């Protein structure tokens, strides 16, 4: 399962970050790391991008970018 | 002599301010440096550079504001600038501004800054909010664990700044080139680092222990810029030799291993020093966002906010525009004319001064209020946190044409005036997004184009003016979309910008901070743009008035240029020198097209001043027409969509012009002409804005070619298509 498939309100943990290069580096710099917990907060009115909460702050990213983040849902 | 000695004894101290975006860096620096702050650009790039020099006690402090960054890895232009400055310029001290409400992520940058081996002082900012949230931060413990000084600050209230300056002072009295304590990650990694350090030491004797360790970390991380700079070619061997065990455990991705290690420190530290209340209140940001980012309300609220900003920008600027315009057009003009006449200056010289120079100065000045107002609102939107939301709401639509969510605002402003829009592109982080947006801006039909539409549509399509106007705006947007797609597939092929953006908490920017930013921007425009515009204004005056004593406008340089250019315009329906000349003068502002046409087509414009001051001649007539045009261009910038005011402005000269136009153009040619004026080129002031923002004329050049090409092709299709369909009459 990847992050772009999750609904607002769902909580998950990062398993793997698929991409390499600038996207991965940027995600790392923003604290999106393996093992980190993510809450999907909102989806933009037009359906893309999405807003997540990670490390207690809010981050937005496009679904295409979120699709590179493999997660498992947790309760 | 004594004085001199005291001066010499002053210590020079360079302080670099680094921190995450939205950590309050700008506010802090504004609070410390105030109006001593100088805003410029980092050389050759579009990123803003702020610095200030001032005396404090017996110190000469130079503060340099680094771009806000989340990290020092070379992901973005900002990060490259920040790290290059820190590595190459070797500041004496880093002041690291940390957002106390977001400790963990901010500390990640702190860890990287500490790796550099430059002394660091932490300003634990936004301390008020963190207290309000019930956070308890053990400041002493941060100091202990990182072995640095930490000063809690509230930049918006100027609290803690004295302490910060005190710490800077006491730092300055310490001996330089001390070896600083180094951070420890985990045993495995630390061992590898130590081994690499031993290995490279002989080759880099000039580096101290701190720098060697930093270099070793960079080698393990595989930082290409650093590897290149230090000429390190044997990274693979070093890694195989010393980091084998690390690779196995970590998917052979050492970069993320290092990131994990850094976050390990940041997370560990924030757990140690930060105590959060058990039950956290719902925050204001959450409440606002529930409405502002709501599925149904998000877009309407965004549009409302944009409409408000647009209206306020141009409404606030409007009276000032009128005032400035009134002064330069009226008293200043007359005064100079009178003064020059009284010392027996020749008529041509008076004309040059009043119609070339003063008109040019006036033209620069009328832009200032718009720039000021726009900068004010943009800065407010950014500082308050709404800009990120606007981008979030609009990104899907903008991304479709290769742009970024934040591109929307510059594009919207473009309908008022393209010049501030180009400046507004600086809210975009990515160079490609900035340039692409700027290239599209000129197709947003600005206020200065309205007078042309009004004259032509009222001459040919009375009663349908509204529809024609609507059509032209839509055509502009359509061409913008197509251009965007083409640029995306050609100039910016393969460059994919990311949309990984923080949505910062809503905060209230301070008035002082807004004012300083606005003032700096306005001043910058005045000085830089002023020179160019003045030059062009004078240049056009000469075009109109040379060769010396030219009687017939057809024989002036402008007329000759018009005759040369006319054949190009033949296939699109208005291949006459009059139209061509008018279009050439439109380089200053498209509204001037009407003024020049009036001048050329209508010989006997009413001219009250002429008799009164009685140095009228043909040259002056042209000059005054030109001047009138400059004047109303200024007015129209602010009248945006209100066609009513423009029609009211129409004097008898213009209604005569309408009559003449009706005989010179067919309705089809008139439509073709309006489309051409809409698209054919961004005015010179927009060009100056490009130059200022991107440091090169290249993008203005591309914009000119693109605009002219689009204008010509579209007019051709409309005109020739119309002819084929039998609308030629
Ligand atoms: N409550 C509070 N707000 C602050 C403080 N410092 C800055 N701000 C606000 O935080 C926002 C971002 O500040 P700014 O200086 O633009 O951040 P920068 O991106 O780091 O330059 C603005 O609205 C500031 O008014 C502070 O100490 N306390
Ligand atoms: Mg700032």
* Residue-number span of the structural domain to which A40 is assigned: 3-73
| Average pLDDT score, chain B | 83
d(CA A71, nearest CA chain B) in Å? 17
pLDDT over threshold 80, residue B584: yes
Q: Is B32 in the pocket of ligand 1 (CB under 6 A)?
A: no
CATH code of A23's domain: 2.30.30.90
Best of A55, A59, A70 to substitute, by most chain B Cβ atoms within 10 angstroms, is: A55
Domain ranges of chain B: 2-173, 187-249, 302-339+347-496+508-606+648-724
Residue with tokens 């298509």: B721
List alpha helices for B385-464, DSSP H. 386-399, 408-414, 418-424, 431-440, 450-460
CATH of domain B2-173: 3.40.50.300
Among B133, B113, B114, B103, CA closest to B268: B103
pLDDT over threshold 90, residue B135: yes
Ligand 1, pocket-test mutation among B16, B20, B22, B27, most atoms within 8 A of CB: B27
What the block records as the tokens of B614 is 């009685």
Q: Which helix (H) or strand (E) holds B16?
A: strand B11-19
Please state the domain count of chain A. 1
pLDDT over threshold 70, residue B574: yes
pLDDT over threshold 50, residue B645: no
pLDDT over threshold 70, residue B79: yes
Classify strands B11-19 and B93-99 as parallel, antiparallel or unpaired: parallel
* CA of B39, nearest ligand number: 2
Residue B156 is given by DSSP the state G
Q: Are B282 and B116 in contact (CB under 8 A)?
A: no
Q: Are A61 and A50 in contact (CB under 8 A)?
A: yes
| Of residues B108, B295, B502, nearest to A59 (C-beta) | B502
Cβ burial B240-271 (10 Å sphere, 16+ → b, else e): eebbeebeeebeebbbbbbbbbbbebbbebbe
Among B410, B385, B413, CA closest to B640: B413
Contacts 24+ apart (CB under 8 A), A7-10: A7/A40, A8/A40, A8/A41, A8/A42, A8/A43, A9/A39, A9/A40, A10/A39, A10/A40, A10/A73
Q: Half-sphere exposure (CA, 13 Å, Cβ side) for B229?
A: 12
Q: Which helix (H) or strand (E) holds B17?
A: strand B11-19
Q: What is the pLDDT of residues B281-315, one digit of tens each?
A: 778 899 999 999 999 999 999 988 888 877 777 67
Average pLDDT over residues B517-539: 77
A55 chain-B contacts, CB cut-off 8 A: 104-105
User: What pLDDT is attached to residue B507?
Assistant: 93
Among B371, B443, B421, B430, CA closest to B395: B430
Residue B23 is given by DSSP the state S
Q: Is B434 in the pocket of ligand 1 (CB under 6 A)?
A: no
| Average pLDDT score, chain A | 92
pTM: 0.82
Which band of pLDDT confidence, cut at 50, 70 and 90, is reported for residue B238? confident
Q: What is the pLDDT of residues A45-75, one digit of tens each?
A: 999 899 999 998 999 999 999 999 999 998 7
Answer whether A49 touches B (CB < 8 Å). yes
Q: What is the ipTM of this complex?
A: 0.96
């Amino acid at each position: 399962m990847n992050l772009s498939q999750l609904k607002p309100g769902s909580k998950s943990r990062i398993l793997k970050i698929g991409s390499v290069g600038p996207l991965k580096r940027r995600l790392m710099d923003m604290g999106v790391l393996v093992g980190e917990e993510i809450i999907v907060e909102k989806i933009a009115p037009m359906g893309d991008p999405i807003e997540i909460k990670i490390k207690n702050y809010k981050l937005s990213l496009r679904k295409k970018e979120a699709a590179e983040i493999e997660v498992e849902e947790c309760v | 002599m004594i004085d001199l000695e005291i001066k010499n004894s002053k210590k020079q101290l360079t302080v670099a301010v680094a921190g995450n975006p939205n950590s309050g860096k700008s506010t802090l620096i504004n609070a410390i440096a105030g109006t001593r702050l100088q805003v410029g650009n980092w050389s050759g790039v579009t990123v803003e550079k702020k610095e200030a020099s001032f005396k404090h006690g017996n110190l000469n402090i130079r503060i340099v504001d680094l771009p806000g960054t989340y990290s020092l890895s070379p992901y973005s232009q900002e990060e490259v600038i920040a790290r290059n400055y820190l590595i190459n310029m070797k500041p004496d001290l880093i002041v690291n501004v940390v957002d106390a409400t977001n400790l963990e992520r901010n500390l990640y940058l702190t860890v990287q800054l500490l790796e550099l081996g430059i002394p660091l002082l932490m300003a634990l900012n936004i301390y008020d909010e963190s207290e309000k949230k019930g956070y308890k931060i053990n400041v002493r413990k941060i100091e202990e664990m990182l072995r640095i000084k930490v000063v809690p600050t509230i930049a918006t209230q100027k609290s803690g700044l004295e302490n910060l300056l005190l710490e800077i002072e006491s730092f300055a009295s310490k001996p330089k080139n001390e070896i600083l304590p180094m951070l420890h990650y985990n045993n495995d990694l630390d061992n590898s680092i130590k081994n690499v350090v031993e290995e490279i030491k002989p080759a880099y004797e000039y580096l101290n222990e701190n720098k060697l360790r930093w270099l070793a970390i960079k080698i393990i991380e595989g930082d290409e810029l650093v590897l290149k700079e230090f000429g390190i070619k044997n990274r693979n061997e070093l890694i195989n030799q010393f980091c084998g065990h690390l690779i196995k455990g970590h998917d052979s991705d050492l970069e993320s291993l290092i990131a994990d290690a850094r976050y390990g420190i940041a997370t560990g530290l924030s757990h140690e020093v930060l105590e959060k209340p058990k039950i956290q209140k719902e925050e204001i940001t959450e409440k606002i966002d529930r409405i502002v980012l709501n599925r149904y309300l998000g877009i309407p609220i965004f549009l409302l906010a944009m409409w408000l900003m647009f209206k306020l920008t141009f409404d606030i600027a409007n009276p000032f525009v009128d005032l400035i315009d009134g002064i330069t057009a009226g008293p200043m003009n007359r005064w100079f004319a009178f003064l020059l006449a009284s010392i027996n200056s020749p008529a041509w010289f008076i004309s040059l001064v009043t119609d070339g120079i003063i008109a040019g100065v006036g033209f620069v000045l009328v832009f200032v209020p718009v720039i000021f107002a726009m900068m004010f609102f943009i800065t407010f939107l950014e500082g308050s946190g709404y800009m990120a939301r606007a981008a979030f709401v609009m990104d899907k639509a903008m991304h479709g044409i290769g742009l970024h969510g934040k591109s929307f605002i510059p594009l919207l402003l473009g309908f008022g005036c393209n010049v501030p829009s180009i400046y507004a592109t600086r809210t975009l982080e990515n160079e490609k997004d900035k340039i692409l947006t700027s290239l599209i801006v000129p197709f947003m039909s600005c206020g200065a184009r309205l007078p042309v539409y009004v004259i032509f549509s009222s001459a040919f399509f009375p009663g349908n003016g509204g529809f024609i106007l609507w059509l032209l705006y839509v055509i502009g947007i359509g061409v913008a979309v197509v251009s965007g797609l083409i640029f995306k597939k050609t100039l910016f092929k393969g460059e994919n910008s990311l949309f990984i953006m923080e949505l910062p908490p809503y905060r209230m920017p301070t008035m002082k901070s807004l004012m300083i930013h606005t003032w700096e921007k306005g001043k910058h425009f005045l000085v830089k743009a002023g020179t160019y515009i003045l030059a062009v204004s004078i240049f056009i005056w000469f075009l109109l008035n040379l060769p010396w004593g030219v009687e017939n406008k057809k024989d002036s340089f402008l007329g000759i240029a018009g005759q040369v250019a006319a054949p190009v315009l033949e296939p699109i329906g208005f291949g006459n020198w009059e139209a061509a000349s008018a279009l050439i003068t439109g380089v200053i502002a498209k509204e001037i097209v009407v003024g020049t046409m009036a001048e050329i087509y209508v010989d006997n414009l009413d001219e009250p001043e002429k008799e009164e001051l009685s140095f009228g001649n043909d040259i002056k007539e042209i000059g005054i027409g030109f001047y009138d045009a400059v004047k109303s261009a200024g007015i129209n910038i602010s009248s945006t969509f209100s066609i009513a005011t423009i029609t009211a402005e129409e004097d008898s000269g213009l209604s005569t012009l309408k009559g003449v136009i009706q005989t010179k153009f067919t309705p089809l040619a008139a439509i073709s002409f309006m489309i051409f004026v809409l698209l054919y080129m961004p005015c010179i002031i927009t060009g100056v804005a490009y130059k200022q923002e991107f440091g090169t004329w290249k993008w203005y050049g591309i914009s000119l070619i693109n605009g002219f090409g689009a204008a010509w092709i579209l007019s051709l299709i409309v005109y020739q298509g119309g002819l084929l369909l039998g609308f030629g009459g």
